[in-house]
Chain A
Amino acid sequence: MIDVQNVVKAYDSVKAVDGISFQAKPGEIFGLIGPNGAGKSTTIRMIMNIMAPDSGSIRLDGRPLAEKDKARIGYLPEERGLYKKMKVGDMLAFLAEIKEADRQASAERADEWLRRFDLLDWKGRKIEELSKGMAQKVQFIGTVAHDPDVLLFDEPFSGLDPVSQDLLLEAMLELKAAGKTVLFSTHIMDHAERICERILLINKGKAVASGALADLKRRFGADAARVEYDGDGAFIERLPYVKSCRSFPRWTEVELDGPDAADALYRDLAGKVRVRRFELLEPSLHSIFIRLVGGESEGADRA
């Protein structure tokens, strides 16, 4: 279990991480979510003991991280890097070697992953010959091939095509099922929604919200509805409890000022237009985030 308590890290005068606390447990995928520059990478680097926090504590299974714990951890840094002149197979063997892993077992695991990512034919080629996406997959394999208990993935999906992203999501779910502690960071809410149980939303170094994703969604309530109807729906926008209304070709999304307003909307629609479908929408992680940070990071979020 990774236990981060009240960690602070400042660069010059800017507080990159300001009092962050969370716990990531075995058998779960914990998401560290926030826009670029929120402090995600700094937090992960501190967990990895690459940087020391100014204050606060970071513990792995109740103890501060020691040099020998590094063998139990797999770390995929945001700044990917492999030795360009090395062959894929040699690189993976080297990465397992510096984790002091069992040579044969980790080589077998690496081959299995290479097969899965369709890279087995590239094992004898140099890293510099690979495409960026391939190199990224090799780096992922290097992170998991020594079979660590704890996995830290910093922006694991950036630079991957959708098919590869799905492969990676699937792989991460398997790691979770195998009882590993998986911590990952992303600025893409969709990825977090698909695989995380619990998340920590951070912005400008500070925690904005945290907890189980389902609880979070419940807390922010279902206060939007998607309506499909025939007829003139121009009046919807003018209803007193409707905050905003966005029309799409096939449906309209209506944002309401409270959970109770949904009933009122349903009643008001009846008779005026012919309703084909009425659905309450769960708030997306994205919309929760926007609401929490007041939209100020919306631009960065899409970057």
Chain B
Amino acid sequence: MRKLLAVAKREFKAAAANKTFVIMTILGPFLILAITVLPTLLNNDPKIASSGKPVAIYAERDDAGAYLGAAFESQKIPSVRVEDASRAKERVLSGEYAGLVEVPARWPDEEARYYSATGTDAALFGTSQGVLGALATELRVAEAGLSPEAASRLLSKPGFRVVKLGADLSEETKTDRDFMAVLFTALSFVMMIYMTVLLYGQMIGRSVVQEKTGKTVEVMLSSLSSRDLMFGKILGLGLAGMLQYGVWMGMGVLMIKVVGPLFSLSLPAAVTVGNFGWLVFFFLLAFFLYAAGYAALGAAAEDEYHLGQLAWPLILFLVIPMVMISTMILNPQSPLVLGLSYFPMTAPIVMLVRILVSAPAWWEVAASVGAILLAIIGVGFLGAKIFRVGILMTGKRPKIGEVLRWARLK
């Protein structure tokens, strides 16, 4: 045990004194800031997102011009009425105006237009379209000779509410913004797990390969067993990962408990201390699983380039949940998502998202965690075997058959 701890201590120091580690640890909280506070700030004040440049309004109808001006003002977006449409277009191109709304005299029978240099400023043209749409409806209702009461009744939408059922049948109203908040939170959590697992996995793989290319492996094996070496490395780098997550967690909790209330920010509903706990828990599971896999690949690899080639199946398993993230959020009960939440290689990420989005039963979480734990033992065992034999192999690329033969060796 002393040997294993000595290796773990050395690996921890080597990892934590690493520039990437320091940068990631410092940047991590900013990422948390981005996922927690920024969306709320953006929602509260669209001005933060806008360029601050005025929107030009060229309206041949005064009612439309006045409506647009008022709508932009209510959103704190500056606007200006212009008399010359073609000059205004030039100023849009030169960057003086954020965009130009053009309403012709025969509108709404003739189309209105929004001009911009990008065509992607959805906030601006969305506002314009919405305002003009409402005005057109109003005009047409008046044209049809309906009373204002009849018109508002005609136009009002029937009530509809989306309710999330908690495990104890508790009810929680959901809105579009909630969906976006969950999407953001889930995406950020998944990104964090993906990045850190990949980063630490590759660190372990490289660290094993470097034992071979740096020729230290023989000295190491003359003092300790390959098992102590492998698990020492995994433990050391795992502790470095936990330190990093600890810093992030602390920042996250600080954000939720102190900064949020202080600036009376309404944080996305999915950003809770409990969910941060799940994040760390599933990070650890994913870490140990992928660490064992990477250690085995590192032992079988000839050098770091070869390791990169061998590692693609592992990366693929990490990428699958990333690609499927919107499916997982929109449809967490689909058979594919359920299946992936029990398949060990994808389970850490998929089950985490399921917990964020829906309320899986405790036994579902337990089954998923159990599958991951079994896989960790299996991959760790296999990895240790490949490690034992593969770590001394240099100068010759092992074939798949050979790797499997190592796994059977005593």
Residue B372 interfacial (CB < 8 Å):
no
A98 touching B215 by the CB < 8 A rule?
no
CA–CA, A86 and B2, complex, Å: 20
Q: Give B378-410 as 1s and 0s: 1 = Cβ < 8 Å from A's Cβ atoms.
A: 000000000000001000000000000000000
B218 touching A100 by the CB < 8 A rule?
no
Contact residues in A for B220 (Cβ distance below 8 Å): 98
Contact residues in B for A79 (Cβ distance below 8 Å): 215, 218
B218 touching A77 by the CB < 8 A rule?
yes
Contact residues in A for B217 (Cβ distance below 8 Å): 81
Q: Give B66-104 as 1s and 0s: 1 = Cβ < 8 Å from A's Cβ atoms.
A: 000000000000000000000000000000000000000
Q: Give A93-112 as 1s and 0s: 1 = Cβ < 8 Å from B's Cβ atoms.
A: 01101111000000000000
Contact residues in B for A99 (Cβ distance below 8 Å): 223
- B214 CB to nearest A CB, Å: 5
Q: Give B1-25 as 1s and 0s: 1 = Cβ < 8 Å from A's Cβ atoms.
A: 0110011001000100000000000
Residue B222 interfacial (CB < 8 Å):
yes
Contact residues in B for A97 (Cβ distance below 8 Å): 2-3, 6
B221 touching A50 by the CB < 8 A rule?
yes
A50 touching B225 by the CB < 8 A rule?
no
Contact residues in B for A85 (Cβ distance below 8 Å): 14
Contact residues in B for A67 (Cβ distance below 8 Å): 225
B214 touching A81 by the CB < 8 A rule?
yes
Closest residue on chain B to residue A99 by CB atoms: B223
A81 touching B224 by the CB < 8 A rule?
no
CA–CA, A51 and B6, complex, Å: 24
Contact residues in B for A50 (Cβ distance below 8 Å): 218, 221-222, 392
Contact residues in B for A86 (Cβ distance below 8 Å): 10
Residue A116 interfacial (CB < 8 Å):
no
CA–CA, A84 and B216, complex, Å: 10
Residue B219 interfacial (CB < 8 Å):
yes
A77 touching B219 by the CB < 8 A rule?
yes
- B257 CB to nearest A CB, Å: 39
Contact residues in A for B224 (Cβ distance below 8 Å): 70, 98
Q: Give B343-361 as 1s and 0s: 1 = Cβ < 8 Å from A's Cβ atoms.
A: 0000000000000000000
CA–CA, A27 and B362, complex, Å: 66
CA–CA, A98 and B219, complex, Å: 10
Contact residues in A for B225 (Cβ distance below 8 Å): 67
- B237 CB to nearest A CB, Å: 15
Indicate which residue in B3, B216, B218, B392 contacts A75 across the interface (CB closer than 8 Å). Answer: B218
B14 touching A45 by the CB < 8 A rule?
no
Residue A254 interfacial (CB < 8 Å):
no
Indicate which residue in B14, B216, B222 contacts A48 across the interface (CB closer than 8 Å). Answer: B222
Contact residues in B for A202 (Cβ distance below 8 Å): none
Residue A218 interfacial (CB < 8 Å):
no
A98/B216 contact (C-beta < 8 A), A48-B222, A50-B222, A73-B222 known: no
Q: Give B170-206 as 1s and 0s: 1 = Cβ < 8 Å from A's Cβ atoms.
A: 0000000000000000000000000000000000000
Residues facing B in A91-144 (CB within 8 A) are: 94-95, 97-100, 139, 142
Closest residue on chain A to residue B14 by CB atoms: A85
A98 touching B6 by the CB < 8 A rule?
yes
Interface size class of B (residues with CB under 8 A): 10 to 19
Closest residue on chain A to residue B228 by CB atoms: A98
CA–CA, A48 and B219, complex, Å: 10
CA–CA, A99 and B7, complex, Å: 11
Contact residues in B for A173 (Cβ distance below 8 Å): none
Residue A217 interfacial (CB < 8 Å):
no
- B303 CB to nearest A CB, Å: 15
Contact residues in A for B3 (Cβ distance below 8 Å): 97-98, 100
Contact residues in B for A80 (Cβ distance below 8 Å): 215
Closest residue on chain A to residue B392 by CB atoms: A50
Closest residue on chain B to residue A48 by CB atoms: B222
Contact residues in A for B214 (Cβ distance below 8 Å): 81, 83-84
Contact residues in A for B223 (Cβ distance below 8 Å): 70-71, 95, 98-99
CA–CA, A99 and B224, complex, Å: 8
CA–CA, A73 and B221, complex, Å: 12
CA–CA, A255 and B88, complex, Å: 109
Contact residues in A for B392 (Cβ distance below 8 Å): 50-51
CA–CA, A172 and B293, complex, Å: 43
Highest count of chain A CB atoms <10 Å: which of B2, B214, B222: B222
- A114 CB to nearest B CB, Å: 18
Residue A82 interfacial (CB < 8 Å):
yes
CA–CA, A90 and B83, complex, Å: 77
Indicate which residue in B2, B219, B222 contacts A100 across the interface (CB closer than 8 Å). Answer: B2
CA–CA, A51 and B3, complex, Å: 21
CA–CA, A236 and B36, complex, Å: 100
Closest residue on chain A to residue B213 by CB atoms: A81
B6 touching A81 by the CB < 8 A rule?
no
CA–CA, A48 and B218, complex, Å: 9
Indicate which residue in A70, A73, A81 contacts B218 across the interface (CB closer than 8 Å). Answer: A81
A94 touching B10 by the CB < 8 A rule?
yes
CA–CA, A161 and B3, complex, Å: 34
30 contacts between A and B (CB under 8 A): A48-B221, A48-B222, A50-B218, A50-B221, A51-B392, A67-B225, A70-B224, A73-B222, A77-B215, A77-B218, A77-B219, A77-B222, A80-B215, A81-B216, A81-B217, A82-B216, A83-B14, A83-B214, A84-B214, A86-B10, A94-B10, A95-B223, A97-B6, A98-B3, A98-B6, A98-B7, A98-B220, A98-B223, A100-B2, A142-B219
B→A interface (CB under 8 Å): 2-3, 6-7, 10, 14, 214-225, 392
Known: A84-B214, A97-B2; 8 extra A-B contacts, CB below 8 A, are A45-B218, A70-B223, A77-B222, A81-B215, A83-B10, A94-B6, A94-B10, A99-B223
A→B interface (CB under 8 Å): 45, 48, 50-51, 67, 70-71, 73, 75, 77, 79-86, 94-95, 97-100, 139, 142
Closest 5 CB pairs of A and B: A81-B215, A81-B216, A75-B222, A77-B218, A97-B6
